[in-house]
């Protein structure tokens, strides 16, 4: 490849860390290839004073990066899979989904207390309706405080804004070497993760004959199957990353894909959760099957209310 490979990424510390991870692996495999990073500000990065659920729309953290792919300003985009819409623009595709980091949510509390030990009326910071709905379902007495900003900013707000705890993704903290700040890993039984949480998606042009072959070794088959099942569920429910929909798939004994999913009201008073298992070679079919079961149990009514 005579031209340097330009990797597009958001400019946050976590996004840059993730892009550097991919850059370093590519450099190790292709030492003669010049690789540069290009920081791109997305809509989600520009709007920091409004909860993302109120902004609306899909692809808040990927749209501008995809536009740079179309303009040939970059050859590869590195995304957090939980930010990637289920419908990709024609001409672009996910060439690889990387091995998943810990997909769980975690809590950082001001006084070292675990979630169930926090006092009545505790103030919990989170930017996610998915987390909010599950935490309120578990502890209706908690007060949920909208929390935006990068990881460092959110951690600082824990003390500065009088919060008792904040809830974040384990993957980001671990990648940035901040796992020592974690008070508690939240079991998926308590807080089911976001679709694709912990995995990275490598997006490029479908017709790019140079970049696509470079990425073949980055795809982690087990993670890819799990994330595809989760995304199929999300696609059928027509949800975005800011809606209280959660799903988590695991491959067990190398022969069964186990998928759990839920849809909840924002206040947590209604929560529909179910699971299924089947052939890991048919992840999309399992995702669709579970989505239909959730809809049959009333998820459609909850989602209509949220969208209205």
- Residue spans of the domains in the chain: they are 5-98+199-219, 105-186, 233-307
Q: What is the per-residue pLDDT across 92-131, written as a single tens digit (0 to 9) for each?
A: 999 999 999 999 999 999 999 999 999 999 999 998 999 9
Q: Is 300 a catalytic residue?
A: no
- Residues 5-98+199-219: name the CATH superfamily: Periplasmic binding protein-like II (3.40.190.10)
Domain 105-186 fold: D-Maltodextrin-Binding Protein; domain 2 (3.40.190)
Which residues pair with residue 251 across a beta bridge?
Answer: 257
**Confidence grade of residue 2 (pLDDT, cut at 50, 70, 90):** low
**Residue 43's pLDDT is what?**
76
Count H helices, E strands: the chain?
11, 13
- In angstroms, the CA 285 to CA 102 distance is 25
Backbone torsions φ then ψ of 223, nearest 5 degrees: -60, -45
pLDDT exceeds cutoff 80 at 261:
yes
Cα–Cα distances in angstroms (integers) from residue 107 to residues 13, 37, 212, in the given order: 20, 31, 38
By CB atoms closer than 10 A (0-12, 13-18, 19+), residue 88 is middle
pLDDT exceeds cutoff 80 at 241:
no
CA 110 to chain centre: 25
Let me know: does 12 contact 19? Beta carbons within 8 Å: no
Q: Residues 83, 105, 164, 208: which is the catalytic one?
A: 83
Q: What is the per-residue pLDDT across 36-89, written as a single tens digit (0 to 9) for each?
A: 999 999 877 766 555 555 555 567 789 999 999 999 999 999 999 999 999 999
Domain 233-307 fold: Double Stranded RNA Binding Domain (3.30.160)
User: What percent of the chain is predicted at pLDDT more than 90?
Assistant: 83
Backbone torsions φ then ψ of 263, nearest 5 degrees: -135, 135
SS3 162: coil
105-186 shares its CATH topology with 233-307: no
Q: Model-level pTM?
A: 0.93
């Amino acid at each position: 490849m005579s031209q340097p490979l330009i990797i597009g990424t958001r400019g946050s510390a976590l996004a840059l860390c993730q892009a550097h991870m991919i850059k370093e692996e590519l450099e190790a495999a292709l030492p003669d290839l010049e690789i540069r990073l290009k920081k791109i500000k997305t809509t989600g990065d520009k709007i920091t004073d409004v909860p993302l659920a109120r902004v609306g729309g899909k692809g808040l953290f990927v749209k501008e990066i995809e536009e740079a792919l179309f303009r040939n300003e970059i050859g590869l985009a590195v995304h957090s899979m939980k930010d990637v819409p289920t419908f990709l623009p024609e001409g672009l595709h996910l060439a690889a989904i990387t091995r998943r980091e810990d997909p769980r949510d975690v809590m950082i509390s001001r006084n070292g207390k675990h979630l169930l030990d926090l006092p009545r009326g505790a103030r919990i910071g989170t930017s996610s309706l998915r987390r909010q709905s599950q935490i309120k379902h578990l502890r209706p007495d908690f007060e949920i405080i909208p929390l935006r900003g990068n990881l460092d900013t959110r951690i600082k707000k824990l003390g500065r804004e009088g919060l008792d705890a904040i809830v974040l993704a384990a993957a980001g903290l671990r990648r940035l070497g901040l796992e020592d700040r974690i008070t508690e890993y939240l079991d998926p039984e308590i807080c089911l993760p976001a679709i694709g949480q912990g995995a990275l998606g490598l997006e490029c042009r479908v017709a790019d004959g140079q970049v696509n072959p470079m990425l073949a070794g980055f795809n982690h088959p087990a993670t890819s199957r799990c994330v595809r099942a989760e995304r199929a569920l999300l696609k059928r429910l027509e949800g975005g990353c800011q809606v209280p929909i959660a799903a988590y798939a695991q491959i067990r004994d190398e022969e069964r894909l186990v998928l759990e999913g839920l849809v909840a009201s924002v206040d947590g008073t209604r929560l529909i959760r179910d699971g299924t298992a089947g052939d890991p070679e048919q992840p999309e079919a399992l995702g669709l099957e579970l989505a239909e079961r959730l809809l049959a149990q009333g998820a459609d009514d909850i989602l209509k209310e949220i969208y209205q």
